[in-house]
Amino acid sequence: MNEEIIKLVDIKRYFKVGTEVVKALRSISMTLNKNEFLALMGASGSGKSTLMNILGCLDTPTGGQYILNGKDVSKLDDNHLAEIRNKEIGFVFQTFNLLPRSTALENVILPLIYAGFNKSNRLQRAEEVLGDVNLSDRMEHKPNELSGGQRQRVAVARALVNHPSIILADEPTGNLDSKTSIEIMGLLEKIHKAGNTIIVVTHEEDIAQHAHRIIRLIDGEIASDEINENIRTMEYYQQLK
């Protein structure tokens, strides 16, 4: 039986700009089950970034309900949202968002400090996830000593370190070349196979095709919500060689 992890009911998000009200999200309703791999697509101005911010508990809706793991998070204050972000959601950003003066290991340890893990457990867990993303030999390197792909692997490890319910990846390949992009999507594919729920926000069709389900937004509404019949796995790219 599928276990529901996200339920959005009639989510709206309005912004006041001067005297005008911008309706970024008009009425979004959707459910997402555990271990789904979803791509959220849309052009600039479609509402996908606003929806990502709500899904990631970085923002709250103007109206509607957001149920995350059985809990209504749509009316929580900033402190409670920060707590939920740290426990439930692992973020991967286009710009990596790594601390430049900290090593890969220190960057990955950071969420565990906020979560209250003791020092030995923090170190063990951070080393484990860096190994999972094939960076055991780069733990003591700082971001400027790593390639773009390696930096994004550090960001993925940091997203995984707290055993989150959801990995939320915002344009995760936007700053990478096509070969490295495929490698990062292959890594997300591997993470999904291990049981994680993944949401990728992208405007790139090639990247969306790695997901098992694709939701397209237009003007703050869901235009389509489809199962992807032609998933691009790593095997697809190996056959092209």
Model confidence at 240: pLDDT above 70: no
pLDDT at 60 exceeding the cut of 60: yes
- pLDDT band for position 238 (cuts 50, 70, 90): low
Q: Is the pLDDT of residue 236 over 80?
A: no
pLDDT in the model for residue 94:
85
- What is the per-residue pLDDT across 82-138, written as a single tens digit (0 to 9) for each? 989 988 999 998 888 899 999 999 999 998 988 888 888 999 999 999 999 999 999
Whose tokens are 């997901």? That residue is: 211
Q: Tell me which of 18-27, 159-168, 178-187, 230-239 is least confident.
A: 230-239
CA distance linking residue 40 with residue 221, whole number of Å: 12
- Angstrom CA distances, 18 to 21, 23, 24, 123, stand at 8, 14, 15, 49
As given in the structure block, the two tokens for residue 170 are 């915002």
What are the φ/ψ torsions at residue 33 (nearest 5 degrees)?
-95, 160
Q: What is the mean pLDDT of the chain?
A: 92
Indicate the pLDDT class of residue 23, thresholds 50, 70 and 90: very high
Q: Residue 74 region, left (φ>0) first, then alpha (ψ -120 to 50), else beta?
A: alpha
Residue 234: is its pLDDT beyond 80? no
Task: Provide, rounded to the nearest whole percent, the portion of the chain with pLDDT above 90.
Answer: 76
Tell me what pLDDT residue 117 has.
Answer: 86
Confidence category of residue 239, pLDDT binned at 50, 70, 90: low
pLDDT at 223 over 70: yes
pLDDT bracket for residue 2 (50, 70, 90): confident
Domains (range + CATH), the chain? 34-58+80-240 (3.40.50.300)
